């Protein structure tokens, strides 16, 4: 999971790219980068760490130009070294920079073809560099001195034929403009925004609509699956559907966990989606245990709060904030390495004894993936004096790997894989465990579309 942004402005875009990346920081905390273009010159700053740490004032002053792209990274393919901070760059043809959110499932095969047939050199193991070189190779086949929108769309049509996986991409062709495109299944999100000024129209592409809001851009629409958007340096917008038979199968984790609640993705309010998760969980609890003994509902900060509050209201049970979060610790699910995740939970959360002692508590989390966080949180609740600890997941059981840009590659790492709900409850130490029904989730997104 990563965050991407691109802007074609009528003035300098460096500060706005920085601001957009800080708004998208929740999508990746491993590395950050910005590339801008002004008067045909390329300016780059990228490195490991949070946005605020990578960019100092002197770096910002060097990022000149009214066109640029930015990226925040969490590594899902390749390694987590500074050399793989994005955007990536190739000098031929024209000079192209690219930032990518997602994962290519045929990256190894593509890398071999790029080296053997396209005569291209790869410096890293990142699938983002592979994707950049596939696009560059296809654009080079055009062979024209000046790139036209038709050239860009022809190259991207070939990219769609060659690349498999889930991806959303922003790229910049030096001296020409920026482009954005989304995989044929719409797995990863990409939105288009517009801002009218006295000097002309500005355009913005981003992973989430909240980045547009922060910069006072109007959400125009989502980039559709298999669609390409090209915005030239004069601010003219060009779009084309590059896939004959696109489908729309978005990643459920965007709504459950990744996205900020104040975002809209594919015309679906993330906040409303999470409210409905709470409603449906409450309905399931009432079906399974109409005479439940829950004293208090407590969310696991932060993403489960919306669902937990809605669930508590529907059950007519008290809602309390029982965990205090250290906001200077990263999100545990997207922290590289299992050891770091396990160390991180106790550093991040501390229980308030008053809300647990002698009570039957229902803890609500957005999901249970590896079970690492869930088990330690339940242990914290018991140490704080809880009489019983029930646990509810706003997402259905995660039983199979996700190879489209989420760090859960092996089924053996998934606590629900090959296990019953009762077995998972025992493993994480819960007195009772309830999951969202898969069929309820599917229906829920249909209900909230357009809200």
Residue-wise pLDDT for 391-421, tens only, equals 999 999 999 887 776 766 588 889 999 999 9
Domain extent for 88: 2-249
374 and 278 together in one domain: yes
Answer yes or no: is pLDDT of 78 > 70.
no
Residue 295 in tokens: 């004293």
- Kindly report, residue by residue over 125-175, the tens digit of the pLDDT: 999 999 999 999 999 998 788 899 999 999 999 999 999 999 999 999 999
- Rounded Cα–Cα distance for residues 241 and 223 (Å): 10
The encoded tokens of residue 112 equal 């071999």
Between vectors from CA 261 to CA 325 and to CA 297, what angle results, nearest 5°? 55
Label residue 337 by pLDDT band (50, 70, 90). Answer: low
Evaluate if residue 440 carries a pLDDT over 60: no
Q: Are residues 25 and 168 in the same domain?
A: yes
More confident residue, 199 or 450: 199
Both 304 and 165 in one domain: the answer is: no
Q: Are residues 244 and 343 in the same domain?
A: no
| Mean pLDDT, the chain, integer | 92
Q: Is the pLDDT confidence value at 381 over 50?
A: yes
Same domain, 242 and 352: no
Q: Work out the average pLDDT over 6-15.
A: 98
Strand bridging mode 360-365 / 349-351 = unpaired
Q: Is the pLDDT at 34 greater than 70, yes or no?
A: yes
Residue 42 sits in the same domain as residue 110: yes
Q: Assess whether 234 and 342 both reside in one domain.
A: no
Same domain flag for 237 and 382: no
Place of tokens 């002197």: 58
pLDDT band at 184 (very low <50, low <70, confident <90, very high): very high
Kindly state the average pLDDT of the residues 23-31: 95
Report if residue 446 sits inside a domain: no
pLDDT for 447 equals 45
What are the C-alpha distances in Å from 33 to residues 50, 60, 129, 193, 196? 10, 11, 14, 21, 27
- 316-330 mean pLDDT: 90
Question: Strand pairing of 296-299 and 268-269?
Answer: unpaired
Distance CA 443, CA 451 (A): 14
Length of the chain: 451
* pLDDT at residue 450 is higher than 50: no
* Same structural domain, 108 and 243: yes
Evaluate if residue 197 carries a pLDDT over 60: yes
Name the residues annotated as catalytic.
2
| Structure confidence at residue 240 (pLDDT) | 98
Number of domains in the chain: 2
C-alpha–C-alpha distance, residues 229 and 108, integer Å: 27
Q: What mean pLDDT is predicted for residues 210-233? A: 98
State mean pLDDT over 187-214: 98
Please check the confidence at residue 390 and state whether its pLDDT lies above 60.
Answer: yes
């Amino acid at each position: 999971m990563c965050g991407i942004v691109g802007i074609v402005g009528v003035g300098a875009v460096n500060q706005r790219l920085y601001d957009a990346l800080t708004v998208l920081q929740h999508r990746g905390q491993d590395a950050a980068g910005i590339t801008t273009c002004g008067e045909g010159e390329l300016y780059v700053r990228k490195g490991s760490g949070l946005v605020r740490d990578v960019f100092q004032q002197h770096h910002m002053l060097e990022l000149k130009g009214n066109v640029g792209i930015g990226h925040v990274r969490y590594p899902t393919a390749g390694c987590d070294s500074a050399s793989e901070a994005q955007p990536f760059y190739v000098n031929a043809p024209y000079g192209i920079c690219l930032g990518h959110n997602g994962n290519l499932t045929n990256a190894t095969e593509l890398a071999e073809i790029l080296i053997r047939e396209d005569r291209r050199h790869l410096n890293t193991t990142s699938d983002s560099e592979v994707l950049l070189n596939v696009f560059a190779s296809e654009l080079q086949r055009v062979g024209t001195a000046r790139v036209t929108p038709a050239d860009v769309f022809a190259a991207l049509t070939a990219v769609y034929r060659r690349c498999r996986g889930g991806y959303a991409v922003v790229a910049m062709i030096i001296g020409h403009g920026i482009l954005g495109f989304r995989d044929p299944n719409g797995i990863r999100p990409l939105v288009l925004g517009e801002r009218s000024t006295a000097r002309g129209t500005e355009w913005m592409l981003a992973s989430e609509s909240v980045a547009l809001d922060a910069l006072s851009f109007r959400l125009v629409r989502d980039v559709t699956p298999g669609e390409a958007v090209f915005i030239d340096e004069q601010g003219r917008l060009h779009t084309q559907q590059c896939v004959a038979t696109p489908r729309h199968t978005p990643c459920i984790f965007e709504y459950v966990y990744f996205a900020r609640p104040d975002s809209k993705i594919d015309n679906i309010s993330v906040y409303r989606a999470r409210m409905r998760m709470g409603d449906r969980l409450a309905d399931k609890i009432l079906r399974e245990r109409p005479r439940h003994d829950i004293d208090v509902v407590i969310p696991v900060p932060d993403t489960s709060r919306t669902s937990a509050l809605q669930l508590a209201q529907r059950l007519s049970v008290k809602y309390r904030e029982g965990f205090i979060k250290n906001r200077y610790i990263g999100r545990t699910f997207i922290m590289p390495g299992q050891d770091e995740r396990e160390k991180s939970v106790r550093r991040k959360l501390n229980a308030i004894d008053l809300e647990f002692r002698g009570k039957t508590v229902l803890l609500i989390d957005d999901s249970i993936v590896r079970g690492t966080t869930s088990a330690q949180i339940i242990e914290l609740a018991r140490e704080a004096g809880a009489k019983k600890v029930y646990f509810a997941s706003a997402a259905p059981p995660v039983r199979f790997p996700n190879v489209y840009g989420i760090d859960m590659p092996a089924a053996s790492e998934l606590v629900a894989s090959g296990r019953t709900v009762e077995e998972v409850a025992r493993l994480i130490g819960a007195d009772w465990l309830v999951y969202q029904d898969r069929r309820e989730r599917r229906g829920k997104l249909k209900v909230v579309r357009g809200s």
